[in-house]
Amino acid sequence: MPVSFSRWLPGLLLCAALPLSAQAATPAAAEGPAYGPELQGFDYPYTLKHFAFESQGKSLQMGYMDVAANGKANGRTVVLMHGKNFCAATWDSSIKVLSEAGYRVIAPDQIGFCTSSKPDHYQYTFQQLATNTQQLLKALGIQKATLLGHSTGGMLATRYALQYPEQVEQLAMVNPIGLEDWKGLGVPYRTIDQWYQRELKVSAQGIRDYERITYYDGRWKPEFDRWVDMLAGLSKGPGKIQVAWNSALIYDMIFTQPVYYEFKDLKMPTLLLIGTSDTTAIGKDIAPPEVKAKIGHYDVLGKQVAKLIPQSTLVEFPGMGHAPQMEEPAQFHKALLGWLNTSNPVR
């Protein structure tokens, strides 16, 4: 555990397990951008605002974007929940499409991520992150919303929907992790100190290699490099110690707090958007061969979990990976908008 943290260090990111540390930084990575502890220096696609609040005896702030309907307003709001290795900014194309379709769009960075605070000591739970987000929405005057969660954001969106069912009209999840309980399936536990040492070694090349293999089935698009630079720049900037420590705490939260057993309790219309070539699974890199062989199969997991959720719709994207909204935006958004407009939201 790190000995101490400077007060000026705060913010990082939510999604799947990431064996980034095994890679040493290459000269090219070393020459890339470095960003501040709350991602200072990285441009967001829409105006970045900040929500100040108290939590666990600390004064914290959440960075967020609040984008009004650009088309004919339909009076509805979509809240976007990013993944572990993503930020609110990575929703840029989805924000544009949803706004043009008449939705108000709220895209926050969770505490510990990206443009938000990264406290020295914080008890990370999905319940706490859901409570933080609910406080933000309350401050913005939003009483009901549709949730769209990607990767770890899918776990958070599930927890939010279970915690505040009367405030969730619809729930949509994009390749959510947590469709299985890795610890229950025999993945070894990695301590917070082990996660921390691993996260200190994050590099741009390590991020790129991991995402190409795990997220995109060996494929890569030049536009993904911006998001690699975002993560790597945050991890090698002046807040790198705080970023690594908060990241370690978040990984422990993801591994030890499954939502899998509660999918059956969701009460609202729920959409699963699944790229079937995704192989993301927390701890897969240290799992025994027999365990590694049976986890992270999204072509199977999507179908299994759709049967657990009472009002579920499954849309699969054959051959796509962990982030179909980034890989093939037009195809993804057509499916999303079609469901949003035809399912009956809880009013």
Domain boundaries, the chain: 27-339
Select from 158, 159, 160, 102 the least CA-distant residue to 136: 160
Residue 63 φ then ψ, to 5°: -75, 145
Select from 140, 133, 95, 92 the least CA-distant residue to 111: 133
Coil, strand or helix: which one is 88?
Answer: helix
Question: Mean pLDDT, 10 residues at a time, over the chain (347 residues)?
Answer: 36 37 39 91 97 97 98 95 97 98 98 97 97 98 98 98 98 98 97 97 93 90 94 94 97 97 98 97 96 97 98 97 96 98 79
Position 31 scores a pLDDT of 61
284: which DSSP letter?
G
Position 153 scores a pLDDT of 98
Q: How far is CA 333 from the centre of its chain?
A: 18
Position 17 scores a pLDDT of 39
* CATH code at 27-339: 3.40.50.1820
Position 144 scores a pLDDT of 97
Burial 129-162 (b: 16+ CB within 10 A, else e): bbbbbbebbeebebebbbbbbbbbbbbbbbbbbb
Please state, in angstroms and rounded to a whole number, the distance separating the CA atoms of residues 173 and 235: 27
Position 217 scores a pLDDT of 86
pLDDT in tens, 252-276: 999 999 999 999 999 999 999 999 9
- Edge to edge, the sheet with strand 104-108 lists 49-55, 58-67, 104-108, 77-81, 145-150, 168-174, 270-275, 312-317
Position 71 scores a pLDDT of 79
| Strand extents, DSSP E, the chain | 49-55, 58-67, 77-81, 104-108, 145-150, 168-174, 270-275, 312-317
* Positive or negative torsion for Cα 10, 32, 215, 18: negative
